[in-house]
A = this chain, B = another copy of it.
Amino acid sequence: MKMKAIVTVTLKPSILDPQGEAVAHALQNMGVKGVQSVRIGKHIELEIEGGEEKALRAKLEEISKELLSNPVMENFHLDLRAGG
């Protein structure tokens, strides 16, 4: 069965995000008011042909932790759904 996994990787709240701050300043300079913070993370879409959902989810959790994120400074969220 074909599954689609979306892994969202975000910086932990205590980690500074200079790229996000640059975007926030650019928005202010463009005249956009009210922006209080901008944080930038990664959005990773995997299409995976896999067996049983529970095993697939465990495998994807491991991949997310080991390869797609840096557990020292990032959190990840895994969303697994049917379809490609």
Contacts and interface: CB of A to CB of B under 8 A. Distances in A.
A36 interface: yes
Contacts of A37: 45-47
B10 A63 contact: no
A67 interface: yes
Contacts of A26: 67
B34 A45 contact: no
A43 B41 contact: yes
B44 A42 contact: no
Contacts of A30: 63, 67
A45 B49 contact: no
Interface string A13-32: 00000001001001100101
